Chains A and B, each alone.
Chain A
Amino acid sequence: DTGVSQDPRHKITKRGQNVTFRCDPISEHNRLYWYRQTLGQGPEFLTYFQNEAQLEKSRLLSDRFSAERPKGSFSTLEIQRTEQGDSAMYLCASSLDVSPLHFGNGTRLTVT
């Protein structure tokens, strides 16, 4: 069990650019979640997958955001035409069904 891995740890981008983050869950976990955390706040749910199926998306996930989990293993979260308001920590978590979530260390995005 190597834990949930996220890449990159930090990303600085200019407004208007596209960015993509990757999450590798714990290998036997079938569920994968994306959360966003802004400074001084708790994490907010964005979306989750059961295997390769995206089962729920938050209203926070605008049309500029897209998440995929093509083979039911790793997942990517892409943000198109980034805005300064997208600056946050993006956290990935995984679980086996409804077992407790295991979180990664997150990707910190700064949009200048």
Chain B
Amino acid sequence: KQEVTQIPAALSVPEGENLVLNCSFTDSAIYNLQWFRQDPGKGLTSLLLIQSSQREQTSGRLNASLDKSSGRSTLYIAASQPGDSATYLCAVDGATNKLIFGTGTLLAVQP
């Protein structure tokens, strides 16, 4: 059974810092991995999707990497801003779009 773990559960950083969020999964037979952002009381916004054949994806200040063999992904946020404060969720997909989510990392960027 696929399990997804995210570390740390919460993170507080001063504005301008670069930071890394971690995601690990137990079954390497995945179709893709996605990172989402969730603001309080809201739905999920897709940030980056990495296909199983890819090693990384970049969008603006965000970079996500995938190491399928070790069951790990990282989300790197450069030059963090207070507007980045949110919960970040990673999810793996076994090719049915039945995503398995981690419990998220709650990020607070202090001005």
B and A form one assembly: yes
Which single member of B31, B44, B104 contacts A98 (CB below 8 Å)?
Answer: B31
- Does B89 touch A at the CB level, under 8 Å? yes
Closest chain-A Cβ to B108's Cβ sits at a distance in Å of 15
- Interface segment among B11-19, B62-70, B77-85, B94-102: the answer is B94-102
- Does A91 touch B at the CB level, under 8 Å? yes
Question: Is A103 a contact partner of B43 (Cβ separation < 8 A)?
Answer: yes
Closest chain-A Cβ to B94's Cβ sits at a distance in Å of 11
Residues of B within 8 A of A56 (CB): 96, 98
Residues of A within 8 A of B52 (CB): none
Question: Is A106 a contact partner of B98 (Cβ separation < 8 A)?
Answer: no
In B6-62, the 8 Å CB interface with A consists of 31, 34, 36, 41-46, 49
Question: Is B101 a contact partner of A43 (Cβ separation < 8 A)?
Answer: yes
Question: Is B89 a contact partner of A42 (Cβ separation < 8 A)?
Answer: yes
- Does B91 touch A at the CB level, under 8 Å? yes
A33-B97, A41-B103, A42-B91 given as contacts; is B46 within 8 A of A91 (CB)?
no
Question: Is A43 a contact partner of B44 (Cβ separation < 8 A)?
Answer: yes
- Does A102 touch B at the CB level, under 8 Å? yes
Question: Is B99 a contact partner of A45 (Cβ separation < 8 A)?
Answer: yes
* Whole-angstrom CA separation of A95 from B104 in the bound complex: 23
* Whole-angstrom CA separation of A91 from B102 in the bound complex: 16
Closest chain-A Cβ to B101's Cβ sits at a distance in Å of 3
- Does A73 touch B at the CB level, under 8 Å? no
- Does B75 touch A at the CB level, under 8 Å? no
Going nearest first, the 6 A-B pairs with the smallest beta carbon separation are: A42-B101, A103-B43, A103-B44, A105-B43, A45-B98, A106-B43
Question: What residues of chain A have their CB less than 8 Å away from a CB belonging to chain B?
Answer: 4, 6, 31, 33, 35, 40-45, 48, 56, 91, 93, 95, 98, 100-106, 108
13 interchain pairs, CB-CB under 8 A? A33-B98, A35-B99, A41-B103, A43-B44, A48-B97, A56-B96, A56-B98, A91-B44, A100-B46, A100-B49, A101-B46, A103-B36, A105-B43
Question: What residues of chain B have their CB less than 8 Å away from a CB belonging to chain A?
Answer: 4, 31, 34, 36, 41-46, 49, 89, 91, 95-104
